[in-house]
């Protein structure tokens, strides 16, 4: 079973490989509790831009079309994404709203606490018309997340319009559920995400997120949830299990399991986005399902082994480093 990212024959592909959009924020990251006066490192963070950076490092053309404030955090975000090879020409500006922000405190070991300041942000005011130029430019794959859907009616409408456009033009639609409890409840998420069941080609979700879009909670089995999604028209369901690896279920009955790479865990934030980037990279490269899953697991392992949301994402020529014996020196 092989899924390939395509466009319709009547519309030759001239745009990017992957189009994504969503909220990217300025991120202040401390090595201890803020209340003790810990110093902070300035970075940028956002699920969709993390995926974009991961894809760019793996050699793919990727465009990020988020909405930012007219402020210094926006300049930092755009400079960072440009520097990583992400096309930001379709990013837009909301002059009357700020760029969102977050604070990430390292508390103990790899446990972190995240605080958000995203209510009323520029990204929360994104509307369908803001992404029209990016959609018109074309892409092979549309990547969206449940996070953008949770930001408000405007961002949800933008996701809906993007999915409808992608479906009409033969793109591959990828949805990463990416549930954020601080943005909306499980009930709200399930009610909203359920509408995308028949519009998604590739669904990516953690094992506890799958019920949100499958339409039921509680004692129902994962097998039934996967079967429901495949029956609704999803071609691949990818279930992330953290340290227990991941599984891929295909519409033709294929099932593949990928064990997690055993690496010292430094920081788990961003691992799911890295996994998604690796999977999309394999899809774009036309890899077999098991190989796509293997690449996804590798990119996730790189990120959990380093600090930061995306800084540890591998370049294509680094993917093989995980096969080196522990303590090896690459010379």
pLDDT digits (tens, 9 = 90+) for 176-231: 999 999 899 999 999 999 999 899 999 999 999 999 998 655 545 888 899 999 99
% of the chain surpassing 70 pLDDT: 93
Q: Where are the domains of the chain?
A: 16-313
Residues counted in the chain: 331
Catalytic residue numbers? 273
pLDDT digits (tens, 9 = 90+) for 228-264: 999 999 999 999 999 899 999 999 899 999 998 888 8
CA distance 102 to 328: 36
Order of all β-strands in the sheet with 255-258: 62-64, 16-20, 139-145, 172-176, 202-206, 236-240, 246-250, 255-258
Burial class of residue 221 in the structure, from the number of CB atoms within 10 Å of its CB (0-12 exposed, 13-18 middle, 19+ buried): exposed
CATH 3.40.1190.20 given to domain 16-313: yes
pTM above threshold 0.85? yes
CA distance 20 to 158: 11
For 92-128, give one letter per residue: b (16+ CB within 10 A) or e.
Answer: bebeebbbbbbbbbbeeeeeeeeebebeebbbbbbbb
Q: Is the pLDDT of residue 4 over 70?
A: no
CA distance 39 to 62: 33
């Amino acid at each position: 079973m092989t899924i390939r990212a395509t466009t319709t024959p009547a519309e030759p592909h001239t745009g990017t490989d992957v189009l994504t959009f969503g909220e990217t924020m300025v991120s202040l990251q401390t090595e201890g509790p803020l209340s003790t006066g810990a110093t902070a490192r300035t970075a940028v963070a956002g699920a969709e831009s993390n995926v974009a950076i991961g894809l760019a490092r793996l050699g793919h053309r990727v465009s990020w079309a988020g909405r930012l404030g007219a402020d210094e955090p926006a300049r930092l975000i755009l400079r960072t994404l440009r520097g990583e090879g992400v096309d930001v020409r379709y990013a837009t500006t909301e002059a009357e709203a700020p760029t969102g922000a977050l604070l990430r405190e390292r508390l103990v070991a790899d446990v972190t606490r995240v605080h958000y300041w995203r209510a009323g942000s520029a990204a929360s005011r994104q509307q369908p018309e803001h992404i029209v130029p990016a959609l018109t430019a074309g892409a092979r794959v549309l990547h969206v997340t449940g996070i953008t859907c949770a930001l408000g009616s405007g961002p949800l409408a933008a996701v809906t319009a993007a999915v409808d456009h992608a479906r009409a033009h033969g793109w591959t639609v990828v949805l990463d559920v990416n549930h954020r409890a601080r943005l909306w409840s499980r009930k709200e998420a399930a009610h909203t995400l359920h509408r995308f069941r028949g519009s998604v080609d590739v669904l990516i979700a953690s094992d506890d997120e799958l019920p949100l879009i499958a339409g039921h909670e509680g004692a129902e089995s994962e097998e039934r949830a996967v079967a429901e999604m495949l029956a609704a028209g999803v071609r691949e369901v990818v279930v992330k299990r953290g340290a227990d690896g991941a599984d891929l279920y295909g519409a033709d009955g294929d099932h593949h399991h990928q064990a997690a790479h055993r690496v010292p865990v430094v920081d788990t934030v961003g691992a799911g986005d890295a996994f998604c980037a690796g999977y999309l990279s394999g899809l774009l490269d036309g890899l077999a399902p098991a190989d796509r899953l293997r690449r996804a697991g590798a990119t996730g392992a790189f990120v959990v082994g380093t600090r930061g949301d995306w800084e540890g994402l591998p370049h294509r020529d680094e993917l093989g480093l995980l096969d080196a014996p522990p303590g090896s020196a690459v010379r």
